[in-house]
Each structure stands twice: as C-alpha cells, then as structure tokens.
Structure 1
C-alpha cells in the first residue's frame, strides 16, 4: 500500500513537471510569434543629427516626471528625419522622449542620468548606426533596440524544449525501472530465479 502511494505521488510529480515544461514552451512560442509580428521589422541605417534635453518650461515638454531627452536621426537610405527611441514601449509611453527611467529616482539623479545618455549619444552624432523603423504604424519614429527579436525568442525556446525532452526521458526511465522492479518481484515470489535483469529477461522468454 505504501509503495503504491509513493508511485502515485511520483506519477503526479512527473505529470506536473511535464506540464510545466509544456507551459514554458507555449509561452516562448507566443514570444516567437510576437517577434515575428512586430511593427518594427524593418532594419536600416541611421545617424543622429540632434540631441536635446527638454526643460519643464518648453511647450513640447511632456507631462512626465523625469527629464525628457529628445533625439532626432536621419534615415540614411531616404534622408528622412525621425524621432529616435530606445525600444518599443517608449514609443507608446512617452512619444517625445528617447527613454523612460527604469525606477523612480530623485530629480537630481534623473537629470544626471539623462545628461550622461545625452553625452553618449552626442558622441555618436554623424556616425552610421542600426535602427528599426515602422513605416506603416509609426512613420515619424525609429527605435534603437527591439525588445523581442527572433534570436532572443529561439534562445528562450531552447531551454524549455531541452527540459521537456529530458523530462520525457526521465519519466521513461522511471517507468522502465518500475516495470523491471515489478517483474523482478514476481520472479522472486515464484522463487525460480534471482532478482537480476538477466533473470527477468529469461523469465519473459519462457
């Protein structure tokens, strides 16, 4: 009875582990689809032409509580000037600004961070760099970095797939061990042969 309970608990644990691996694969599959259907699929070369740290008194200043860094780039292929943002969420969260702070710091720290980023971008002014554009939905904007890419999605999909394959192999080995143990117990009860794998195989042949 205790052995049967232990086997039942083990079976439940194995099923939950496999379901967890399947859930991870489904999540990563959605991430892969998201990267394939991104609005920012067009990659081109651009160059920074202007960086400006907006003041709170500026008419175009957003109502956000952090310093707004405005960055313009030229699309080299077409010569068109657009606003540059760090990644996709910034375009919707703060359409004017280059980035949004990751955490709420005090005003002085936020200003210093914005000035450091402005200096870094200013040093790149006039140099060709890779950026991503969306000609249909966001024709006046470009982003420096895509948050969801094909490479990232495939990397994230690799580990859950390997875990699932390893889980299936482990469950298969456990089931084989349980089967051999059951056959070995039957042979032992009958008293015909010793509890060995060879004995079990000979018993099956008979």
Structure 2
C-alpha cells in the first residue's frame, strides 16, 4: 500500500514537474512575443508618421505647384502648336536696360531690339514673334530680351546670332492663340506639357510612397493579429 502511494506520489511529482517545465517554456514564449510586439510597435508608429509626413509634404508641393507652374500653364493662351515662316527679321533700335553693379548701385546698358514677323501655318496671318511668355511681358516689340549686363557688345552679338539663325532656318515651330486674341506668337513656352509632367512627377512619387508605407504597416499589423488568432485556435 505504501509502495502504491509512493508510486502515485512519484507520478504526480513527475506530472507536476512536466507541467512546471511546460509552463516555464510557455511563459518564456509569451515573454518573447511581448518583447517582439513591444519592439515592433515604436517602429510601426515611426513608419506611419513617416508615411503621413510624406503625404503632407506632397500636399504642400501640390499647393506650391498649383499657384506657380500650373497656374501659369492654365493662364497661357498660346496653346496651339504650328509652323511659322519667317518673313522679316530686323534690328530696329537700341533698348535701355539696367544691371546691378553692387549694393544699391544700378547702371544703364543697351541691347539691340530684334523684330521678327512670321506667317503662321501658311495662312497669310502675319504675327510678331516672341521668345516666350516672359519676353512677351517684358517687351511687346523685341523677339528676345537678353539679361542686362555691362558689356553691351556681348548682348549685341547674342541678338545678331539669333537673327542669323532665323534667317537660315525660316521654318520654325511656334505656338499661337487659336482664338486670335493675341496677335503675337511664341517660339517656346515656359510651361508646356513636359514641364508640367516633370513638375508633378516628384510630388506624385512622394504621395504614392507615403501611402504604400502606411498600407504595408497596416497589412503587417493585420497579418500579425491573424497569426496570433490562428495560434490560439491551435492551442
């Protein structure tokens, strides 16, 4: 009888010992999982903040582009592309300009005014040619307004070279107003489709990158919770 009691007590002792060992492993496993979750949570929070920061930055860039590049692109009336034939290219007069010579110092220089008249798309419509929108706003007569500098001879050479090129290449691509409200045509546009696309490319990449970071973090959190639920069901 004592032998049976001893055996029973020994069996209970070994069972308790196995349960104790299992419980210790269980506690270690739970502790490791808690440490992993604790370590991952700050990293996930920082990743979400990074994604939100990127989205906010892209919104600011979109706003800045909207009031600068996109506005200038939308306000431009020279939207149609055509072929202009140079009819006349003449240096008419010298125009005055001022350049900075130091702190609170401005001096006057001169550059030649080149007037160019073209025929748009062989329609007989004669228009004055300007380099771009800035030139059109700066001078209603000259095709090109060089950056003012002390050496007026250099500006004269630059304008003469443009005149010679237009005489050699009499057929040039130009942009005109289809409504014919603007009599002048442009040789180039400051903000065309390519410029707008390049301007919107970087904020779009930042926006997509920030959204992907947030989506990946949320997906990781979802998969982690799903694995924990599956583990509980198996146990």
Give TM-score scaled by structure 1 length: 0.69
Q: Does 1:54 align with 2:99?
A: no
Cα gap change, 1:109/1:36 in structure 2, threshold over 3 Å: closer, same or farther? Answer: same
User: Contact (CA 8 Å) 2:111, 2:152: kept in 1 or not?
Assistant: yes
| Residue 99 of structure 1, aligned match among 123, 138, 144 | 144
Aligned length: 183
Query: Residue in 2 aligned with 1:202?
Result: 230
Q: Does 1:158 align with 2:201?
A: yes
Cα gap change, 1:5/1:13 in structure 2, threshold over 3 Å: closer, same or farther? Answer: same
Cα gap change, 1:150/1:18 in structure 2, threshold over 3 Å: closer, same or farther? Answer: same
By how many angstroms is 1:138 displaced? 2.0
Query: Residue in 1 aligned with 2:113?
Result: 68
By how many angstroms is 1:102 displaced? 4.2
Give 5+ residue unaligned stretches, structure 1. Answer: 57-61, 184-196
Cα gap change, 1:205/1:45 in structure 2, threshold over 3 Å: closer, same or farther? Answer: farther
Cα gap change, 1:205/1:162 in structure 2, threshold over 3 Å: closer, same or farther? Answer: farther
**Which structure: greater helix fraction?**
2
- The DSSP-based 3-state class of the residue aligned with 1:55 is strand
Q: Does 1:44 align with 2:44?
A: no
| Residue 59 of structure 2, aligned match among 22, 27, 41 | 22
Structure showing greater radius of gyration is 2
Q: Which residues in structure 2 correspond to 1:51-200 (within 5 Å)? A: 51-56=89-94, 62-64=95-97, 65-102=110-147, 104=149, 106-125=151-170, 128-134=171-177, 135-139=179-183, 141-176=184-219, 198=227, 200=228
